[in-house]
Structures are given as C-alpha cells and as structure tokens.
Amino acid sequence: MKDFLKTSATLIKGCLVFALPEEMTDEMIDMIREFIISKASEKDIKGAVLNFSTVRVIDSFIYEAFRQISMALSLIGVEAVWAGLSPGVITAMADLNIDLDKLKVKTVYSVENALEYLLEIHR
C-alpha cells in the first residue's frame, strides 16, 4: 500500500505535487499525511499541490483531514494549494455545510494553475 505514496508524489520546479487516490480509507489518509509532511520538511519545497482530480466523493472527515494537512504544511513554511476539485466534490462540500472561509487554503482549477501560482509567489 505504501508504494502508491511514491507513485503519487512528484517534484516539479521545487513544488511537491501529490495525486490523491479516488477512494481513501482512514489508514490511507494517515499514511498520506505522514508522507506529505515528511517529504515537504526534508527538502526545500516551495509549495505543495494536493491534486483532487480523481477524488469523486468527499465527506467531512476527508475534508478535515486535508485541511489539517494543509495547516500543518503552513507551520513548516510550505503553502498548500488544492487543485482539481470536481463539481461533485464541490457540491458535496456545500451539502455538508463546510465553511470554506475556515479552509484558508488556495484552491485552483488545475495542477498547472497551482504550479503557476506557487512559482509566482516564490519569485
């Protein structure tokens, strides 16, 4: 199961890009959290892109887990950007009455937009 972590992470121009799996268990989320924070702290990372493009379903637990991961990254000076939120995920977040003001994470349409944003703020 840990092999998917290595294949899901890519370093592009100093930014860690992590492709989230379509379905996630609590155990997978814990492994993803540990992996992302570890990778971001061991290298000079400009930012981290959490790519949600394959995620089709999100619940309050998944949302909160990735919000906390994003906040933990900010504590080590790495800005997280959420990319590729599908209309279904956005609708689910609205249905769950998730307070998006609480998110405090940049969201963008695509990984390319996320990389452009991160590289621009680190010029």
Q: Which residue has the higher pLDDT, 72 or 5?
A: 72
Please report the domains of the chain, with CATH numbers, ordered by start residue. 15-121 (3.30.750.24)
Residue 29 has what pLDDT?
93
Question: Hey, is 105 helix, strand or coil?
Answer: coil
- Residue 68 sits at φ, ψ, to 5 deg, of -65, -40
Report pLDDT for 1: 56
Phi, psi dihedral angles at 100 (to 5 degrees): -70, -20
- Residue 71 CB partners (closer than 8 Å, separation 6+): 104
For residue 2, name the pLDDT band (cuts at 50, 70, 90).
Answer: low
pLDDT in tens, 69-112: 999 999 999 999 999 999 989 898 889 888 777 778 999 999 99
Cα atoms found within 13 Å of the Cα of residue 86, Cβ hemisphere only? 12
Cα radius of gyration (the chain): 13
When the pLDDT of each residue in the chain is averaged and rounded to a whole number, the result is 90
**Predicted pLDDT at 122:** 82
What pTM was estimated for this model as a whole? 0.92
